[in-house]
Each structure stands twice: as structure tokens, then as C-alpha cells.
Structure 1
Amino acid sequence: MSSNRTLMVLPGDGVGPEVVNETLRVVEWLAKNKSITFNVKEGLVGGASYDKYGTPLTDETLADTIEADAVLFGAVGGPKYDGVDFDKRPENGLLRLRKEMDLFANLRPAMVFPALVDASSLKPDIISGLDILILRELTGGIYFAEPRGIEEVSSKVKKGYDTNLYTTPEIERIGRVAFDLAKARNGKVTSVEKANVMMSGVLWREVMTNLHIKEGNGIDMHHMYADNCAMQLVRDPKQFDVIVTDNLFGDILSDCAAMLTGSLGMLPSASLGSVDKNTGKRFAMYEPVHGSAPDIAGKGLANPLAELLSLSMMLRYSFEMKDEADLIDKAVSLALEAGPRTPDIMAHGREKVGTKGMMDIILRKLEELTN
């Protein structure tokens, strides 16, 4: 079947190719059973690209990615590249994609599936039914702002420095996304910064306050310091609905929230840009939160569910295929109830399966749900 939807696949490094390849089995299932097809292109990124081309992202791959309707991403990095020049490190391929596509809004849901309540390190009554969303500003802040560098102060002393910089428009646009998401959820936004010690945090709070007054009709918004938010996530996570924060704090808090669900292997993410007013197209990339996991790469042990749930987010946000996204989410829930688990979410008395084994169960559940 032909399709006018182009999907760019960037498996990357470590367990990235393993979880991406298994997720593509569901893409094939959708084509066969739902007549939903994609023109699938594949490229190299991160260490895989560096090994072949000497750069973590070629201009050609970037151009193909920009032309695509959505991007399914694996993971980048690994100890093999620890000695590589900073600008050639695998992670810079990912950062360049985010910057060139202006993927400023990073959506990281933290939802606890009923079957995984016991997999969390927190008590079941604290995390049972948890469904929160962390919205991370992704193209500004300390990861991109200048000046930054390492300089010699003396023959024995160096200094390393970074700049955490935000402008009013950058904060306003991520704030608007937070309000839009909250309107479709429970209507509550927690804006997180460090206004008590950081001037960028002072501006963040000021801009979010003014935006709420002008555009936050019906939204219940609160401010919270980032360190308190980290504590509250493990004390009473269900107090939150949408958390919106900057690049650095979003990176840290979303990993903290990941462990509420039982495993990083369960967390998907979506990175979205603005909608082009002329074409209606929105740049978007979907990836698991877990990273390349080099310690288990190549062993067939990685949990593919975060990648699969990233595909579900792609169907939901890039292609408005809510029914198909819900179908995948339901299949994941049923698969977890069925028993077999990958090592990261193992529980007493459960059968251990690998990456392929878990996806085999998913495909069986998809068949059951549609027959």
C-alpha cells in the first residue's frame, strides 16, 4: 500500500535498534490489520553515524528528517564514545535534531499501569492510579545558551561554566502548551523553577504568572521550586497533573518521575515544535526516556514498551489517530497483566522474557482486541 505519511526512523545506539526494530513490527501490524501505512525511511544518528561518517548527524540525514511527517527515535551514546571530542559526541546528534527542528515542547507522561503498581519502589497507595505529565522546555536554557566553556584560570586551576538563559517568548510558548494540555486533562498546571536563587527562574515565574492572567482562563496554576517538586514527586505525586519547567529541571524531574512507574523502560516521550501556519505541519520526534542502556545492549533484554508507547504518542499527536493509540495502550496494559515481564519490571512468580518475547505478547493482545 502507498502512503503520503513519511516516518523517519533513527534507531541510534545501544538498545535503540533493538527496541525500534520490535516496535516496527507493530507498524507492520497496523498496515496489515488497519490499513494504516507509512513510507518508512531509516537513517543513522549518534555513535552509529559517527562510526560511519565521523559526525553524530550528517546534513543528509538531517534533511531527510526535516522532510518527514514524524520521527521515531531510539537512543544514542555509550562508553565507547567517552573519549570523542565534545562536538562529535553521539548526544550532539540528538541535540542538533532538537535545535534544527525547534522541538521546544517535550512531553513526558508518567502513568502507572495497574499491573505495575508493585514494581514501583513507592508504596502502592501513593502511586496507584498515577497519571501525570511533565512538560519540559527542550531547546533553550542551560543546554544551549552561551557563553559556555572551560577556561584556564592558572596553571593549576580551570573553570567550567554554562549559562541558563530564557527569553519571554520562549517561556510563553511552552506555557501555552502547558495550558492546552491541562485543558484536555484535569485543568491543573504546576510551573517549576528556582526563582529563589536564579534570575532565569525569576523571569520564568513572572512570565508564567502574566500568561496565566491573560490566557489561563479555567486553569488552576501553582508555582513550585524545583527541589521541592522533586521531593513532592516521591511524597505525593498524585497532587500533580501537568508540570511545566525548563530544560535542566525537566531532564531531572522526568527521570525522577520515571521511577514512580517502576522503570525507565516504561516511559515514552514526544518532542513537538510549533505548527507551521502555511502547511499545518508540526515537527515531531518520539523517543523512549531510557537511553541507550549499554550494559544490556545486544543481549535482547531491553524493555520495548517505552518505544512502543512513543509510537502510540506519535499516532495520537502527529496523525490524530486516537483510536489506534488507545488500542496500543490497551494492548500494553493487557500484556503486563498477562504475566511475562522483561528484567526491568520483573516480579516474583513472573516469567522472564526478552525484547522480542514482550513484543510477541503485545502482538497477540492486539489480535485479541481486534478479533
Structure 2
Amino acid sequence: MTAEVIVLPGEGIGPEVIAEAVKVLEWFRKHRDVHLIIRCELYGTGAYEKYGVIVHEDVFSDLLKAHAVLFGATGGPAFDALPAEAKISGNLLAIRKHMAVYANLRPVQAYDALSDVTSLKAEAVSNVDLVVVRELNGGIYFGEPRGRDLMAAGIERGTNTLVYTTPEIERIARVAFNLARERRGHLHSVDKSNVLETYKLWREVVTHVGETEFPDVLLRHIIVDNCAMQIIQNPKQFDVILADNMVGDILSDLAGAITGSLGMLPSVSLSNFDENGHRCALYEPVHGSAPDIAGQGTANPLAAIMCVGLMFEHSFQLSKETELLSKAIEKVLAAGFRTPDIQAGSLGAISTKCMGDEVIQALTRLNHG
């Protein structure tokens, strides 16, 4: 079977980093007999200029059929200037909802070679290996009512709604528990149940799922305030962290301090399997569009490249290819190659393209070794 990967480079630094990820995909297709069709499509301002929408309707429909979707980034001044209707109809939140990818996995790994980059103590982050499981299709990002309105005396009001149902919490909890079971057997569930009713329900449902379905997994509940502090103070205690949409978004970015840069954080968002065994999967680096450095060729492509490793693991069940790519990245970092975001001391920085080239060379050496 030949799998189709739809690539949406997007905007900002998205095209730059995704170009290097595609280069890695093409290397595996050529040298490791990985059967792929790589289909690149416009997204964002480029698509709007050509089609009048930020993602063509045929592409939007085909996202459900692809074996994997690799997304770069969205946002920036040009995107912000587009009509509101265009941005809403095909934005990243709409894509996630359309694909029903409710389970967002964000692995965070500390690299010994980058111990001088992180602002945290080296002994605190050494050997940290955790995963943030973020619920992606509900919560305050999607809750209704939402919007802005004028009250009496011309006072403006903004409204967003934090809402979850029991089934929504149950399904993401099962993803996190299963992942913890496969790893080290520890799960921290994050909430604000000391204040908000939604999080009281969250805690009750997660507890029930754990007690009835995963008694072998150690569950600890933690208030989000404390969790944020603990991620910085003692990240080694964490194995799998379960959080709702907004909290997971914030905590996983915070965890970038462990690696030294958001440019080192990949992610995958997964749907359930359908009756034919197909599952939608959306892969994207965590860092966003970074318009301040777009076009300069200095962005770190490693998060995007790591998304390829996640793709091999979750969409294609090619664990050996994931391991090979991980080893190549480790060797590149150990050799001292750095983009500006992970540069330290007097070491010189290399470009986005050069970092991709170094990964390709490391893969080639490992493949021949």
C-alpha cells in the first residue's frame, strides 16, 4: 500500500521548516523503501490569493482520506488582514474539528547536547521524557456562547464558554491512560477543580475511568497552578500529563523550557479509528508562524522533522524508521550544529536548510553503518 501525505506548509516560517521535513520524508522514500505519495497544497494567504479561500474545498475534503497531514504554521500580518469569514471557514481550529482529531500528543524530550541552552538547571532536565496529552476539539476554544456584544451604556463584553461533556472527557482520558500504560505507568491529570465546575466534572470522570478501566496506572490529580511550577521545578516526576484544550496548549509551550526552544517540540493530533481502520492524523510543530523571523532562513526545522518520526510511529507503524530518525537528530545535536534558537556560547549558528542537510547526512551515515 502507498500512503498519501498531504502537506500544508502554511505561512510564516511554516514553508521553511516544512521544506526540510519533506526533504527527510523523501530521503526515507528513496533509501528506506517507505512507500509514500507526498502531495503539497496551498494553505493560508497563498490559497486565498489563488482561490479566494484559505484552503481549497477539495483539499479540505481530502484531509479526511489522507493517511497523514503535515501542517507548517498559520498566522501573521498578511493572514490577519484577510476577511474574517475566510479565516473562520478554514482555519486551523476548523481543520482540527473537521478531521475530528481530538487527541493531541506533544512529546517533550531533554537532549543532553542542549543542556547549555535551557535556562533550567541541567540536573533538573537531564533525561526528562514526558508527553502532554491535550484535548483538542472541545473546551473554551469551541464552547458556545462566545463573542463580543454591547451592553447598556455602551460597555463592551467578551464571552467564551468552558464546556465539556462526560464522553468528551472519557475518550481523551482513555488515550492518556493507554499511553501511560505503554510508557512508565504514571498519569497526572491537570485541572482547576478548586474553582470551576467544568474541572470538577473533569476530575470526577478521569478518576472513574482510571478506577474502572486502568487500575494498573498510577493517577495523580494536580491543580494547573502547581503543575506549571512543577514542570519547571521538577519535570522528571512527569510521565504523561493529561489536560484540556487551553491548559494543554499553555503547559506544552511552557515545557519548551525543558528543551530550550519551541523549535524542538513536535506534535500529532489523532482521531478515533473508523470502521475501516482509518484514522485521521495531523502533524504540526508546536512553534507557530514566528513572523518576526519568517523568510530569514534561521528557523529551527527540527520540530517539523520530528513530526516525520511521529508520523512513522502513529500513522505507518514504522518504529524502526522513527528510531533511525531520532538517532540522526541526536547525532546532529551532539556534533554541535545549532540554529539560532538553540545556539549557546560562541558556537556559530547554521541555517534552516543546513540543519535539514545535516539530518540527511546523519541518516545516510547511519543507514550505511
TM-score normalised according to structure 2 size = 0.97
Aligned partners of 2:106 and 2:133 also within 8 Å: yes
Which of 202, 209, 212 is matched with 1:211 structurally? 209
Write the letter of the residue equivalent to 2:283: Y
Percent identity reads 47
Q: What is the aligned partner in structure 2 of residue 347 from structure 1?
A: 344
Matches of 1:80 and 1:44, distance apart in 2? 15
Q: What is the aligned partner in structure 1 of residue 238 from structure 2?
A: 240
Aligned partners of 1:135 and 1:243 also within 8 Å: yes
Aligned partners of 1:77 and 1:91 also within 8 Å: no
Q: 5+ unaligned residues in a row in structure 1: which ranges?
A: none
Matches of 1:89 and 1:256, distance apart in 2? 27
Q: What is the aligned partner in structure 1 of residue 302 from structure 2?
A: 305
Which of 225, 229, 232 is matched with 1:231 structurally? 229
Q: What is the aligned partner in structure 2 of residue 80 from structure 1?
A: 78
Aligned partners of 1:313 and 1:325 also within 8 Å: yes
Output aligned runs, 1:66-145, within 5 Å. Answer: 66-89=64-87, 93-145=91-143
Report Cα offsets for 1:2-32 as digits up to 9, x if no partner. Answer: x521111010001111111111111111122
Which stretch has the larger CA shift, 41-50 or 320-329? Answer: 41-50
Q: What is the aligned partner in structure 2 of residue 255 from structure 1?
A: 253
Aligned partners of 1:71 and 1:284 also within 8 Å: yes
**CA deviation after TM superposition for structure 1 residue 91, in Å:** 9.6
Matches of 2:225 and 2:151, distance apart in 1? 31
Which stretch has the larger CA shift, 33-42 or 237-246? Answer: 33-42
Output aligned runs, 1:20-59, within 5 Å. Answer: 20-59=18-57
Write the letter of the residue equivalent to 1:208: V
Aligned partners of 2:190 and 2:222 also within 8 Å: yes
Report Cα offsets for 1:294-353 as digits up to 9, x if no partner. Answer: 111111111110000011000001100000011001100000011121000001232210
How many pairs were matched up? 368
Q: What is the aligned partner in structure 1 of residue 361 from structure 2?
A: 364
Which stretch has the larger CA shift, 344-353 or 181-190? Answer: 344-353
Aligned partners of 2:105 and 2:134 also within 8 Å: yes
Which of 279, 304, 307 is matched with 1:282 structurally? 279
Which stretch has the larger CA shift, 100-109 or 87-96? Answer: 87-96
Write the letter of the residue equivalent to 1:237: P
Distance 1:91 1:270, change over 3 A: farther
Aligned partners of 2:18 and 2:304 also within 8 Å: yes
**CA deviation after TM superposition for structure 1 residue 88, in Å:** 3.0
**CA deviation after TM superposition for structure 1 residue 87, in Å:** 4.0
Distance 1:79 1:155, change over 3 A: farther
Which of 293, 298, 302 is matched with 1:296 structurally? 293
Report Cα offsets for 1:229-261 as digits up to 9, x if no partner. Answer: 111111111111100010010111010001221
**CA deviation after TM superposition for structure 1 residue 90, in Å:** 7.5
Write the letter of the residue equivalent to 2:304: E
Aligned partners of 1:46 and 1:94 also within 8 Å: no
Structure 1 runs of 4+ with >4 Å offset: none
Aligned partners of 1:23 and 1:307 also within 8 Å: yes
